[in-house]
Structure 1
Amino acid sequence: MFRWWLRHRPFMAYTNSTQQPVAEARHIFAFELIHFLGTFAEENSVGQIRGFAGILFSMDWLCCFSSSQLGGGRSSSTSGKGKSSEGMMRFGFSLVKGKASHPMEDYHVAKFVQIQGHELGLFAIYDGHLGDSVPAYLQKHLFANILKEEDFWVDPYRAISKAYDKTDQTILSHSSDLGRGGSTAVTAILINGINLWVANVGDSRAVLSSRGQAIQMTTDHEPNTERGSIENRGGFVSNMPGDVPRVNGQLAVSRAFGDKSLKSHLRSDPDIRNANVDSNTDVLVLASDGLWKVMANQEAVDIARRFKDPQKAAKQLIAEAVKRESKDDISCVVVRFRG
């Protein structure tokens, strides 16, 4: 049956005489394939479905979807590191799954890239809720959407703002495939090693260190602090159930990507902040709230600055959060600007 579908619905059927972009055609192909697999599952084993999905994932066809949607999954922990082209700046990252029974919902980006003669450092943390589809989508697409904005090089603030909005609209329009969940986001773009742009929605946070002093570069979007905006949109903030303020008693952040059922009461516009990196700037720490729930900004900076290797710094930050009994997924990126 699967071979019949591929014969009758080949990938080329999704391109047209106007030369539809291959990436867009792949997305349409993927959406139809998901629906097909749902029907196929009624007649075949999960193992067969995973096999077909695995082939397609290896070809990067299902770029919009997280592996867990088709029976895959993520490793419980991961870490790594890298550096700028001349090695002057380095980064390290580490992610650890929390105590909850659901799959890992934190995703990250950490890399240096060369674009139009510029070197960009791209760093992000995406903390999902009610599934990992939305953070997985953001990992694939948010930076690409920012960088393809025509005014990125002349007005990064405007480009970031527009891309956040467009990305959220795309997620909402594909909610039938990406699910009902959502995600926070904190993104940092370092342009040529000297110009830093940080944006966020939700409570994932970025903290910059200058001469060892912690500077919070993001705003925690919590229901209590944005109660007026929520109520003006017809929503409410309640501590029931539980003891944490939530939008409509459900979501513990007041801004997020996705969350279609709550979107009329939520915002997804980012807070954006710019800073120049100079000789006093030493480290940048991005992390999900699994870290910030148990650690103050200055504590995180103090720990990160003790390690010349930013990967070791990220691992130590997570180890300390786990020691302090953080039960959430914890993800952390540390950027070290000089030796």
Structure 2
Amino acid sequence: MALRVGLVGYGLAGKTFHAPLFPAAEIELAAVASSDSAKVLADHPGVTVHPTPAALFADTSIDLVVLATPSPTHPALMLEALAAGKHVVSDKPFTPSVAEADQVIAAAAKAGRIATCFQNRRWDSDFLTLRKLIEAGELGEIKSYRAHFEFYKGEVADRWQERPAPGVGIHYDLGAHLIDQALQLFGLPDWVEGDLVIQRSGGAIADGFHTRMGKGALRIDLFGNYYAPDHSTRYAVHGTRGSYMKRFMDIQEDQLRGGMTPLDEGYGIEPQDRWARVTTFDGEQGSSRFEPSIPGAHQQFYALLRQAIENGGPPPVLAEEARDTIRIIEAIRESSEAGRRVTP
């Protein structure tokens, strides 16, 4: 019997970034909590549409709940889902605060259920390729890591993501992905410097950030903003033996927005003109090549989560890892307000 999932929320995230991944992970979308049943049923005629999250949590046929809801709602909904005996996935950010993350972790342990965070960018093509090179030692010891996640959204829109609330701001949004990737590669840093700014006219939430972190001699620089008409800069990573230089974001978001799914031929595969340039130096001479990109695979998050639920292993993203990302976000905010380095 397929794992049955209930999706809470059917806006952009639920419709575009979660639901299309389930079939490739052998997970059945069985129910959706939404106030717009016609929209849901137009895409998924066989599902049950519940009017509220509480009604979905009470559905005894559901094994796993996925929250594709506004960030401020994540802690309360995760606690409610766990109390109902469900495994639960929160879209990022996991929670607005470390204290709330601790509450969710404790509740999951008490319920004997998995609570995890949808850090799908671990399965981006460029990150998978970079991680392979680092783990193989091709770049040597990394000394400088610079990553960008930028778009152009010059006008402030009337939506919840633009209104001040817990867990809202570019550091919780794009920043959560950048931080999670850096922590996966290098672990928690020794110190954090953060700079948060409102750059757009009429803006009410942080929409630009630069975060610098240090771990020994390693320097990690993370950038995000909404004033990037040319948002092709992605990675500049330098080690004792080589460099990884990458332009353009992973292709999966554009493919999903265009209606492609992981079951379609070509999904997650970057064209050759998007491959990274890898330059290595053996101490005497250097060489440069374009590194074929490992295909992106956001669906792997759900495939690995299904295996964890069915076999009792750890989920693909530990709740403690998600909490560490929030710990860094809190340090960024503290540093930006105080104008100094802080220890996370």
**TM exceeding 0.5:** no
Return the TM-score normalized by structure 1. Answer: 0.28
Return the TM-score normalized by structure 2. Answer: 0.28
